[in-house]
Chain A
Amino acid sequence: MPISMQLPDYLVDRDPNRCITCKVCVNQCANDVHHWDKDVDSVIAEEEKCVNCHRCVIYCPTHALKIRRNPTEYKENHYWNSSTIRGIDRQAEGGGVLLTGMGTDKPIPIYWDRLFLNASQVTNPSIDPLREPMEIRTYLGSKPDNVIIKDGKLIKELPPQLVLDAPIMFGALSFGAISLSAVKSLAKAATDCGVMWNTGEGGLHRDVYEYGKNCIVQVASGRFGVDAEYLNAGSAIEIKIGQGAKPGIGGHLPGEKVGEEVSKTRMIPVGSDAISPAPHHDIYSIEDLRQLIYALKEATRYTKPVSVKVSAVHNVAAIASGIVRAGADIVAIDGVRGGTGAAPLRTRDSVGIPAELALAAVDSRLRQEGIRNQASLVIAGGIRNSSDIVKAIALGADACYIGTAALITMGCRMCQTCYTGKCNWGICTQDPKLVKRLNPEIGAQRLTNLIHAWSHEIKELLGGMGINALESLRGNRLMLRGVGLSETEYRILGILPAGE
């Protein structure tokens, strides 16, 4: 066999003074990096298999392990850098499309970090969230232009709404891509926190039907697991047109991941590949989308809001406007940093636009057209923390989806090898021995802690701005100033530079 040109990405650094040869690392690494060598009575590593997932590092009881980047340098070259060369090597030896997992790791400008929030000083007081009520409840769904009231009574009911206790939802993560333990963790946490989780295109497993009230059920191009019961099991339906990590591309769940449970839930045979086509083959135009939206509303007797999720592409503002006019109650926009279980590397890293710009453009456009209240706007694709959320809301979002942040909360270390099915943290895998590693009670508790912590932080930030209701921040771009952006970026974001 010709020699491989690929160097190990990481080195496993085991401190011999601390290693007690307990073999915990051996039994925990699903990539079979660690081996106990009987002859020398010590644990050794096959480093080329290591993906730097930290499972062994965190489980080693004596902290004997460190994972380091392979320090071997390629000849310095700004253009032909090591990751470029390694990509070519992988293809030279394997011959396939480069696959990857999670969102892009390229240095795309992070607009969130260029935006700064306001705070009250002297001319109006900031509000202490520990002393005063601070309201972050959010209603998602179509709002009429006006409310008609007669004799103190509402004349016309509101269209169906989703009520969120915080403007945060767990983004679409399908059962199949993620484990049932992960699904259960998300479902339970969403229910405990009064927010929403999203089935992704993986159907709704029997065990989580009980969390339907806090669930958005997704209908994607593969229509996996979709039937009338499924549509009615959630509180909202989302038509997935695209996702930020791979705009224009469908999904492919390899047959190995389609075990008994996934097969039942997705309603496909065990072991068959689950392929979602790139487009919905019944949606080739906006009027087709309208038909599907109304078919779903009909199927659920107009009791559930229908969301349409698209990836942020160049023409996203016009597309969003079309989606609203087609009758969607919620528009979800997934920016270029959105995560995924598996995507072609080149698509992930270079197709789509950043969520911040897409959000600003869509919100402005919908307002210009006077249809902003006909649909709620949900933004996704790289929301990292509570201040990102606050900034997103000031730019015009009604709520945010978090996907990657939720995965990290459950233990994901962003090793980006979700597509291998060997997730050592039991999140992105169907291997029963790995799935067990994520205890849904612990997962749910961690997610609940995160949502609560972020809610507190959102309240702090609001209070600082002298605001005690989230509605007053929504689209309030005066609360934002930018640093180091171009004229064009200021115009698109609709904000002023700091100092002005």
Chain B
Amino acid sequence: MKRVYAREEVCAGCKLCEVYCATAHSEYPSSILKAFQRQETRPVARILVEVDQPLTFALQCRHCEEADCTQGCITGAMTKDPETGIVTNDESRCVGCWTCVLVCPYGAIKRDESGHKVASKCDLCSNNDTNPICVQKCPNNALIFAEISKGGD
């Protein structure tokens, strides 16, 4: 499947990907200002820029083949779509037990406690076709959305 890959050698560590991800997954996906100013709680990004200068790269869910989070989920909220391969969390079923947060080997799941507690993670902007918002908005082409057969970074 196509995944988002970080090219740390050109990541500027600007964290704009976080801003756009948070906006896209907020109540006001088309307006940064509204997302950050109108929404009651600060929108949460599902991508995380790891910074240990000069090393910087953006990390998000790898949508693992054998996903620990889906196996550990106690309510069956976390599932992998057999067709697209995208791992998503059904927020209506998630009870915020944070098992997935514990088991994810990449630390790709964040806790969203703004409303009803839910595990918040990358959903590839819910498609496996067009570029997710982080890829679109990265100012330095440091994220690519591609099918790389084995591994890749």
Contacts and interface: CB of A to CB of B under 8 A. Distances in A.
A439 B10 CA distance: 6
Contacts of A442: 140-141
B122 interface: no
A22 B140 contact: no
Interface of B: 9-16, 18-20, 32-33, 36-37, 51, 53-54, 56, 139-142
A49 interface: no
B141 A27 contact: no
Given A61-B32, A439-B10, A24 B19 contact: yes
A86 interface: no
A24 B56 CA distance: 14
A439 B15 contact: no
A27 B11 CA distance: 12
B140 A27 contact: no
B143 to A, nearest CB: 11
Nearest to B20: A61
A437 B12 contact: yes
B125 to A, nearest CB: 17
A62 B37 CA distance: 12
Contacts of A23: 15
Contacts of B36: 20, 22
A432 B14 contact: no
B32 A27 contact: no
Given A20-B37, A433-B56, 17 more contacts: A20-B19, A20-B33, A22-B15, A22-B18, A24-B14, A24-B16, A24-B19, A27-B14, A59-B16, A61-B16, A61-B20, A431-B54, A436-B11, A436-B12, A436-B56, A437-B12, A437-B140
A18 interface: yes
Contacts of A28: 12, 14
A188 to B, nearest CB: 14
B140 A439 contact: yes
Nearest to A18: B33
Given A22-B19, A24-B15, A442-B140, A436 B54 contact: yes
B44 to A, nearest CB: 13
B137 to A, nearest CB: 8
16 contacts: A18-B33, A23-B15, A24-B15, A24-B19, A27-B13, A28-B12, A59-B139, A61-B16, A61-B19, A433-B53, A433-B54, A433-B56, A436-B10, A437-B12, A439-B10, A439-B142
Contact of B9 (A18, A27, A62, A436): A436
Contacts of B141: 439, 441-442
Contacts of A431: 54
Most buried by A among B12, B140, B142: B12
Contacts of B37: 20
Nearest to A64: B33
